[in-house]
């Protein structure tokens, strides 16, 4: 699903990636130490390993709470639960779950049980090569109700699931258990996911562990302060607020079910929120049809700001205000250069269908006569007006980019030719700007039912646009990951300020 | 060999395990060094097994260190030689290499222990050098010295000191 993929790629950015073999070998050494420690603590090794896995996931989740909140969870069906576990697997490993089937053992609502049957285990693959040396270790995780060797991983998955469900206020939890394990001689890896009520989850027997000492919080003097840090903090809050408004689960449903009666719903929503019928509103714009589109842009920005002052805060940040300037310029540029006439005409057709029956027939005729791209430019004009209300200044993409980069000291030590860092960052910004143009075209089309003949083509166009924009989004994620891993050992000073501000990404 | 996976939770697990080992084993009379030795041993086992599938090449200690940190830990580090080549009295004729890692995969934030997660990474490096030394007898063995700085202890970066067992004969 589109948003599941996007969510997975975003979350992967926040992970620190190492060699997969190093991961496997570390896991094995951890388990070996856990077995020894469990004897000293007089607890079962699999229970200790699982508890350590849960706590390990908890630490990461606490750091990345706002990012994890974008994971869509809608556990109403085995299919949704399957998708949820797949996303969590990606969060955990940074790789998709592969070569597996899913068996639905119980689809009772609120008590679903699914078993993932994997042909290869990401935790113990290649264990046969050292089976003699680690025979005793693998044997420890077998027999009776003992969970398999990947129990620590199961604990990580379980707690990741728990934290996200808890943050979203759901009254269910998922218990993840490795039921079959290659390392102990089974022919397959079987990971069971059992949905239970939260009370039942909390009432389970826990391993009594404690660490007596606590970490001292840094003093204010020790806290790192920089413009980047403030932006990073603001962008995290902004991200969470935008997610709340966008409601990814609902958008997912719209993409899946394009046949809903959206015009009816839109009309009902307008009446509910504004206490006006659409017809009454559009009557005010007779002979001022261009203002309809300016007002759409204007009100959208102000409406977004209602959600915790997102726009105000963004404009107050030097970095974010420059990015807004660049993005709006890019969207406008994209309209002229990258949006085909057909796509623009499709959008105009949708607008015509909307206003038809709502606006006066003279207004409808004038709207039909308008150029498609001009409509969008009017929306942007309205958005710019609203942003100016918050203090946003517009200098154009080129000057904004240059000023932004000079301000962030990235160009201070540039030689005559731009460095690889500079080029990568510029490419990242460029791809982000191109993407904005594609994304702008998508939601409008997704809102309409395919029952309207005129809208069938736009719905197809939306799918084509999704494919094109996905390529640019992939490229954007790849560029950011390349920046994360490139050798910047000669750029220590610039690097450290970026790292301090965005420690979770860079 | 270039497959990358997310290491975050494993890193956290190492930290949690270290705290639990310290808490449990100290009650039985173990010292901080005993726990460090455990982490180093874990690392050496990892390094020895890793070297079965990959080699850093033999272009000199500094180049090998850069290669190991990149290939195993996925980090780009800086290698410093803090002591003058001719003056090596402090470490009794050992040559010193300090590796600065700003993205240590085993350390993230201050923890409730003074034992750095990257004791394990140092064990890995030593394990790889040992395995290489067995395969190529002319290779000078590099030993893990100490963790000079660590994010686990609240520092802004991780810094690892390695020692060459024999001095250069230049």
Whole-number pLDDT of residue B158: 95
Spatial separation of the C-alpha atoms in residues A438 and A339, rounded to whole Å: 8
Which fold would CATH assign to domain A2-202?
A: Muramoyl-pentapeptide Carboxypeptidase; domain 2 (3.30.1380)
A56 closest CB neighbour out of B9, B25, B54:
B9
Whole-number pLDDT of residue A87: 83
Whole-number pLDDT of residue A409: 55
**Distance of residue A286 Cα from the nearest chain B Cα, in angstroms:** 58
End-to-end CA, chain A: 28
Whole-number pLDDT of residue B105: 93
Nearest to A492 by CA among B3, B80, B120: B80
Instruction: Note whether B45 contacts A: Cβ–Cβ < 8 A.
Output: yes
Res. A10 pLDDT band, cuts 50 70 90: low
Residues A309-315 have a mean pLDDT of 80
Backbone conformation region of residue B57, classed left if phi is above 0, alpha if psi is from -120 to 50, else beta: left
Q: Above 50 in pLDDT, residue A223?
A: no
Measured between beta carbons, which residues in chain A are less than 8 angstroms from residue B11? Answer: 16
Whole-number pLDDT of residue A229: 44
| Nearest chain A residue to B23, by CA | A211
Whole-number pLDDT of residue B130: 94
- pLDDT tens, residue by residue, A457-495: 554 555 566 666 666 677 777 777 777 666 555 554 445
Picking from A29, A215, A484 by the largest number of B CB atoms within 10 A of its own CB, the best residue to mutate is A29
Q: Above 70 in pLDDT, residue A324?
A: yes
Q: For residue A506, give the 3-state DSSP assignment.
A: coil
For tokens 């240059």, name the residue. A402
Which DSSP string corresponds to A102-166? EEEEE--TT--EEEEEESS-TTTTTGGGGTTTTHHHHHHT-STT---TTHHHHHHHHHHHHHHHH
Whole-number pLDDT of residue A357: 77
Token pair for B94: 């050992």
Highest mean pLDDT among A32-36, A227-231, A250-254, A426-430 belongs to A32-36
Bigger pLDDT: A388 vs B91: A388
Question: In this complex, do A40 and B9 lie within 8 Å of one another by their Cβ atoms?
Answer: no
Spatial separation of the C-alpha atoms in residues B36 and A400, rounded to whole Å: 51
- pLDDT tens, residue by residue, A92-148: 887 788 889 999 999 888 899 999 999 988 888 777 777 788 888 888 998 888 899
Whole-number pLDDT of residue A3: 55
Highest mean pLDDT among A18-22, A280-284, B2-6 belongs to A18-22
**Do the strands B78-80 and B4-6 form a parallel or antiparallel pair, or are they unpaired?**
unpaired
Q: For residue B37, give the 3-state DSSP assignment.
A: helix
A348 within 8 A of A441, measured Cβ to Cβ: no
Question: In this complex, do A33 and B21 lie within 8 Å of one another by their Cβ atoms?
Answer: yes
Bigger pLDDT: A435 vs A370: A370
Q: Above 80 in pLDDT, residue A184?
A: yes
- pLDDT tens, residue by residue, A397-423: 666 666 666 665 555 555 555 567 767
Mean pLDDT of chain B: 88
Bigger pLDDT: A87 vs B34: B34
Q: Above 60 in pLDDT, residue B138?
A: yes
Q: Which residue intervals of chain A bear CATH 3.30.1380.20?
A: 2-202
Q: Which stretch of A205-219, A226-240, A279-293 has the lowest confidence by average pLDDT?
A: A226-240
Measured between beta carbons, which residues in chain A are less than 8 angstroms from residue B6? Answer: 12, 15-17, 91-94
Res. A72 pLDDT band, cuts 50 70 90: low
Measured between beta carbons, which residues in chain A are less than 8 angstroms from residue B3? Answer: 19-21, 95
Instruction: Note whether A16 contacts B: Cβ–Cβ < 8 A.
Output: yes
DSSP state of B60: -
A17 closest CB neighbour out of B6, B9, B111:
B6
Q: Above 70 in pLDDT, residue A451?
A: no
Question: In this complex, do B38 and A496 lie within 8 Å of one another by their Cβ atoms?
Answer: no
Spatial separation of the C-alpha atoms in residues A193 and A167, rounded to whole Å: 20
Residues B33-56 have a mean pLDDT of 95
List the strands of the sheet with B78-80, edge to edge: B78-80, B95-101, B158-164, B142-149
A155 within 8 A of A166, measured Cβ to Cβ: no
Q: Above 90 in pLDDT, residue A177?
A: yes
B10 closest CB neighbour out of A27, A95, A214:
A27
| Nearest chain B residue to A24, by CA | B46
Bigger pLDDT: B149 vs A431: B149
Bigger pLDDT: A398 vs A450: A398
Question: In this complex, do A215 and B25 lie within 8 Å of one another by their Cβ atoms?
Answer: no
Whole-number pLDDT of residue A419: 66
Whole-number pLDDT of residue A231: 46
Contacts (Cβ under 8 Å, ≥6 apart) of A364: A352, A355, A356
Bigger pLDDT: A248 vs A149: A149
Spatial separation of the C-alpha atoms in residues A493 and A495, rounded to whole Å: 5
Res. A189 pLDDT band, cuts 50 70 90: very high
Ordered by start, the domain boundaries in chain B are 8-164
For residue A481, CA distances in Å to A12, A422, A428, A502 come to: 9, 15, 10, 14
Q: Which stretch of A381-385, B55-59, B112-116 has the lowest confidence by average pLDDT?
A: B55-59
Q: Above 60 in pLDDT, residue A300?
A: yes
Please determine, looking at this structure, whether the domain spanning B8-164 carries the CATH number 3.40.50.980. Answer: no
Strand partners, A114: A104, A193
Bigger pLDDT: A493 vs A74: A74
Whole-number pLDDT of residue A8: 66
Measured between beta carbons, which residues in chain B are less than 8 angstroms from residue A20? Answer: 3-5
């Amino acid at each position: 699903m589109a948003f599941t993929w996007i969510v997975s790629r975003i979350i992967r950015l926040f992970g620190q990636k190492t060699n997969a073999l190093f991961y496997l070998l570390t896991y094995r050494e951890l388990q070996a130490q856990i077995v020894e420690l469990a004897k000293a603590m007089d607890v079962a090794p699999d229970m200790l390993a699982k508890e350590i896995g849960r706590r390990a996931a908890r630490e990461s989740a606490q750091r990345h709470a706002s990012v994890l909140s974008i994971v869509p969870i809608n556990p109403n069906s085995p299919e949704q639960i399957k998708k949820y576990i797949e996303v969590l697997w990606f969060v955990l490993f940074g790789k998709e779950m592969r070569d597996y089937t899913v068996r639905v053992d119980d689809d009772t609502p609120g008590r679903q049980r699914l078993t993932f049957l994997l042909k290869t285990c990401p935790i113990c693959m290649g264990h046969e090569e050292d089976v003699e040396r680690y025979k005793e270790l693998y044997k420890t995780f077998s027999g009776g109700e003992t969970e398999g060797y990947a129990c620590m991983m199961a604990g990580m998955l379980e707690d990741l699931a728990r934290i996200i469900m808890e943050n979203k206020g759901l009254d269910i939890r998922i218990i993840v258990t490795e039921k079959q394990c290659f390392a102990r001689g089974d022919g397959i890896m079987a990971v069971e996911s059992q949905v239970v009520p939260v009370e039942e989850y909390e009432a389970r027997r826990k391993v009594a562990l404690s660490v007596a000492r606590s970490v001292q919080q840094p003093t204010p003097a020790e806290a790192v302060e920089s413009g980047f840090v403030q932006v990073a903090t603001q962008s995290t809050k902004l991200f969470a607020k935008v997610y709340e408004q966008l409601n990814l689960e609902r958008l997912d449903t719209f993409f899946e079910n394009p046949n809903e009666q959206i015009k009816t719903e839109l009309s009902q929503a307008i009446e509910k929120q504004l206490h006006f019928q659409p017809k009454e509103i559009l009557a005010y714009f007779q002979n001022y049809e261009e203002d309809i589109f300016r007002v759409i842009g204007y009100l959208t920005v102000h409406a977004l700001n209602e959600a915790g002052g997102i726009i105000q805060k963004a404009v107050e940040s030097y970095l974010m205000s420059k990015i807004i300037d660049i993005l709006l310029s890019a969207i406008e540029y994209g309209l002229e250069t990258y949006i085909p006439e057909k796509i623009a005409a499709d959008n105009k057709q949708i607008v015509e269908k909307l206003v038809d029956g709502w606006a006066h027939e003279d207004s409808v005729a004038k709207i039909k006569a308008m150029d498609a791209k001009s409509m969008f430019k009017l929306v942007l004009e309205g958005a710019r007006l609203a942003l100016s209300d918050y203090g946003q200044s517009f200098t154009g993409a080129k000057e904004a980019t240059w000023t932004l980069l000079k301000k962030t000291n990235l160009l201070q030590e540039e030689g005559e030719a731009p460095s690889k860092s500079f080029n990568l960052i510029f490419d990242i910004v460029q791809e982000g700007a191109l993407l904005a143009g594609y994304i702008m075209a998508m939601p409008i089309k997704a809102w309409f039912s395919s029952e309207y003949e005129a809208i069938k083509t736009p719905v197809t166009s939306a799918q084509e646009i999704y494919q094109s924009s996905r390529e640019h989004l992939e490229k954007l994620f790849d560029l950011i990951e390349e920046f994360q891993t490139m050798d910047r050992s000669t750029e220590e000073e610039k690097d450290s300020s970026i790292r301090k501000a965005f420690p979770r990404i860079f | 060999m270039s497959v990358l996976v997310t290491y975050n939770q494993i890193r956290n697990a190492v930290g949690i395990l270290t705290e639990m080992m310290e808490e449990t084993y100290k009650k039985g009379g173990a010292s901080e060094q005993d726990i460090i030795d455990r982490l180093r041993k874990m690392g050496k086992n990892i390094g020895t097994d890793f070297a079965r599938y990959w080699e850093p090449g033999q272009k000199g200690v500094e180049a090998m260190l850069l290669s190991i940190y990149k290939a195993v830990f996925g980090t780009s580090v800086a290698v410093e030689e803090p002591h003058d080549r001719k003056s090596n009295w402090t470490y009794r004729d050992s040559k010193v290499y300090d590796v600065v890692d700003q993205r240590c995969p085993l350390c993230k934030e201050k923890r409730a222990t003074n034992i750095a997660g990257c004791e394990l990474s140092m064990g890995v490096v030593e394990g790889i050098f040992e395995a290489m030394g067995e395969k190529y007898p002319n290779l000078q063995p590099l030993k893990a010295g100490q963790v000079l700085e660590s994010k686990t202890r609240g520092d802004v970066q991780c810094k690892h000191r390695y020692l060459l067992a024999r001095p250069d004969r230049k």
